[in-house]
Amino acid sequence: MPLNLSLVIHNHQPVGNFDFVFATATEKAYDPILGLLERHPTVRLSLHYTGPLWDWLLKRRPDHVERLRALVARGQVELLTGAYYEPILVSIPDADKVGQIRKMTEFLRRTFGVEPTGMWLAERVWEPHLPKPLAEAGVRYTLLDDTPFKMAGLTDEDLFGPYVTEEQGHTVTVFGNVMYLRYAIPWHPVEEVIEWLRAQAAAHPGGVAVMGDDGEKFGLWPGTWDLCWGREAWMDRFFAALEANADWLHTRPLGEMAAELPPLGRVYLPCASYEEMMDWALPPRDFASMRRVRRELKESGRADILRFVRGGLWRTFIARYDEVNQMHKKGLWVSRKVQRMPEGEEKAHAQDHLWASQCNCGYWHGLFGGIYLFHIRAANYAHLIAAETIADQSSVGRPAWIWTEHGDLDADGREEIVLNTDRQVLTFKPSSGGALVEWDWRAARYNLLNAMTRRREGYHEDLVRAAEEGRLILPGEPDRPDGVRVKEPDIHTRLFHDWYRRAAFLDHFLHPETTLDAFYRSQYGEQGDFVNQPYQAQVKEDPAGLTLILTREGIVWVGERSVPVQVEKRFVVTPGNDLLTVHYRLTTHDNARCVLRFGVEVNWGILGGGSDRAFLQILRGREKIRRRPTDTGEVWETTGLTFGLPFPPLEGMNWQGAGGIPQVTLTLSAPATLWHFPLEAVSNSEAGYERVYQGTCTLLWWDVVLEPDQPWEATLQVALKTGD
């Protein structure tokens, strides 16, 4: 009996990605795949496109959709469904899981006249509860990497057929995605892959070998266009070999295999994804250890043990990155608001924004940019803010409003406080420095604090070691087997790691000898216990506005003695305007006069902050000092600052049509010294290590003289407005 080969190609671009990336991926990968199928009409397979990519293709490349429609009509291509905006399914509510899958299924039914029953699972992230919502959404089968099958006790030899799994009696058929094929196609010689398949045909006659992977690796990833379509033409040679061996090797869409082959058995799979994803989820030190353990086991031939070695749970990304957790939990918060809306067009509109915000790429990080891709985070937040605004307007029913929400928004066991107006949503963490951690500007659909804390990543160890050993490869230099590609020669000297979360209105007491450079490197001495410590919170509400009072009785070390200091900060918002007023009061009951260096830190998320269109304008009296958000500098006697948001977070939002680029202006009642610098992550990808802008830190500080029981006060007012 012949062996069946089911190839599954998954094509994806995230919500908010740049138009040129969609276009380049289509030109270098998606179009060539269709051309390949047209040239080899007897090779049949399954394709999956995500919703954001469908939306772009229908608008910009309808010819691609028409070519695909012809391939589907003649039975050469099976289309798989999936959650429309490609969320990690385990991370969203069941109602959203089912809703997103049904949206994709309906789209394929309407556009191609097909009834898909198989689905692509984003990043192949699996948890045992999934069969129930999948079955409820009409999904009968899916494919997962071989990793969870092996963790459940199966071996490579057990993966040439489907298994059935269930949750509460709801069944789904699952296929194992063979790791050898995923790594061999398109990098191993065609002849080697065919010989491997021939051996499997002898060992598993009538079975199926499944290979599912990203379409972008067939032309978009560095070096793959020449390999797949250019000089080496690997894909044409491979498809020609499949045709030449059709007497014993049948290429079949996965759906035919699901309908034809009886399950090999029942299986219950643990929480898992593909091997690399689970390693990326580990804390940095464990990431390096895991890679070392895997290498040692492979070199010693202990595959029997290696198959039970697993990395971390996908949800660990939510634990590792406060910013991921903030965005994820805000999504759950908004989902509950949307679900409470009455059925109708307004709810459907809010729901679609909510689902778009769940697109997975901004919620984890591995070899690709992930959470460090600023524009992806900005797009997720833009949709979240749009969905929440629609839901809030629906519940209030009037043009202007204020209210306070209390609750454990980020699920850390401590209460957050949310100040809600028709113009702004401000989320505070009294338990951690009384910080403002999210500041949503509704009109701009923008989280002004969408910046990233600088963290250690597992791959930083490789960079440092390569630099020490002289193995860095600069742009334009030839590859070498042990080399590590970098975008700049001294990038390993830019690895700074913060000891607290970069948020807003963080309170510092600095040693007088602290320099801008030390603060930038996060290598300085903090003399107070305020930055990430708990504050007491009180909210005063009246029809005119909301006032949040955050207070901490702390200690500041001055020389050899500790001085008790009270920091009180009052945040005032009112309905119908875009102002935030912050009033600081510092008091000591110590019996001696003391001089303190007090600073207020705000970390601004400026989309496009590294571009020529971005600006930071600093006021010193009547003098205007022009800088860029990526500059590092110090300005004495600062009385205010303004920065612009040069790019809208979503395509179709027209800043100029709204009257100009949105601007944020901060005005001080007492002149201060300003330190400003960019927050930059050192991130890795196939193209090498590079610095990636993540936000701009501003620290305003004063030399404060505190007399016993005589408070020092200052007011900061922030205005959100559309500039000229």
Rounded Cα distance between 105 and 328, Å, is: 25
Q: Which two tokens stand for residue 605?
A: 């998320």
Q: Is the pLDDT of residue 188 over 80?
A: yes
Contact present, 472 and 489 (Cβ < 8 Å) = yes
301: exposed, middle or buried (Cβ count in 10 Å: 0-12, 13-18, 19+): exposed
What is the mean pLDDT of the segment spanning 202-223? 96
Q: Catalytic positions, please?
A: 123, 214
Closest to 290 (Cα-Cα) out of 312, 274, 270, 269: 312
Closest to 50 (Cα-Cα) out of 352, 384, 360, 316: 360
Question: Could you write out the DSSP letters of every residue in 323-335?
Answer: HHHHHHHHHHHHH
Q: Which two tokens stand for residue 663?
A: 């601007």
* Confidence grade of residue 653 (pLDDT, cut at 50, 70, 90): confident
pLDDT of residue 674: 98
Neighbours of 659 (CB within 10 A): 11
Which one has a higher pLDDT value, 397 or 234? 234
* Confidence grade of residue 658 (pLDDT, cut at 50, 70, 90): low
249: exposed, middle or buried (Cβ count in 10 Å: 0-12, 13-18, 19+): buried
Distance, CA of 240 to chain centre: 39
Rounded Cα distance between 50 and 10, Å, is: 8
Q: Please, what is the average pLDDT of the chain? A: 94
Rounded Cα distance between 88 and 363, Å, is: 9
Contact present, 435 and 506 (Cβ < 8 Å) = yes
SS3 232: coil
Residue type, position 454, single letter: R
Any idea which residue has 């043009």 for tokens? Answer: 399
Would strands 472-473 and 416-421 be described as parallel, antiparallel, or unpaired? unpaired
Rounded Cα distance between 523 and 532, Å, is: 16
Rounded Cα distance between 508 and 530, Å, is: 7
SS3 299: helix
Single pTM value for the model: 0.95
Contact present, 569 and 582 (Cβ < 8 Å) = yes
pLDDT of residue 147: 93
pLDDT of residue 229: 97
pLDDT of residue 656: 63
Any idea which residue has 């690997």 for tokens? Answer: 234
Residue type, position 257, single letter: M
Question: How does pLDDT run across 298-354, given as a tens digit for each residue?
Answer: 888 887 787 788 888 999 999 999 999 999 999 999 999 999 999 999 999 999 999
What is the mean pLDDT of the segment spanning 25-43? 98
Residue ranges and CATH numbers for the domains of the chain are: 3-269 (3.20.110.20), 460-494 (no CATH)
97 sits in which H/E element: helix 94-112
* Confidence grade of residue 692 (pLDDT, cut at 50, 70, 90): very high
Rounded Cα distance between 677 and 70, Å, is: 54
Question: How does pLDDT run across 263-273, given as a tens digit for each residue?
Answer: 999 999 999 99
Least confident among 185-194, 381-390, 602-611: 602-611
- Distance linking the first and last C-alpha atoms of the chain: 73
Closest to 574 (Cα-Cα) out of 401, 405, 722, 407: 401
Per-residue buried b or exposed e for 580-616, using 16+ beta carbons within 10 Å of the residue's own CB? bbbbbbbbbebeeebebbbbbbbbbbbbbbbeeebbb
What is the mean pLDDT of the segment spanning 239-248? 98
pLDDT of residue 704: 95
* Confidence grade of residue 543 (pLDDT, cut at 50, 70, 90): confident
Rounded Cα distance between 538 and 406, Å, is: 11
pLDDT of residue 403: 94
Closest to 161 (Cα-Cα) out of 46, 29, 274, 265: 265
pLDDT of residue 657: 58
pLDDT of residue 367: 79
Question: Could you write out the DSSP letters of every residue in 126-174?
Answer: B-TTTHHHHHHTT--EEEEEHHHHHHTT--GGG-SS-EEEEETTEEEEE
What is the mean pLDDT of the segment spanning 439-461? 95
Residue type, position 182, single letter: R
DSSP letter at 608?
T
Contact present, 676 and 631 (Cβ < 8 Å) = yes
* Confidence grade of residue 591 (pLDDT, cut at 50, 70, 90): confident
| Separation in Å, CA 385 to CA 16, 333, 719 | 14, 11, 19
Closest to 167 (Cα-Cα) out of 139, 138, 137, 127: 127
Question: Could you write out the DSSP letters of every residue in 191-213?
Answer: HHHHHHHHHHHHHSTT-EEEEEE
376: exposed, middle or buried (Cβ count in 10 Å: 0-12, 13-18, 19+): buried
* Confidence grade of residue 445 (pLDDT, cut at 50, 70, 90): very high
Question: How does pLDDT run across 133-176, given as a tens digit for each residue?
Answer: 999 999 999 999 999 999 999 999 999 999 999 999 999 999 99
pLDDT of residue 559: 81
Q: Which two tokens stand for residue 502?
A: 């970069």
DSSP letter at 15?
T
pLDDT of residue 298: 84
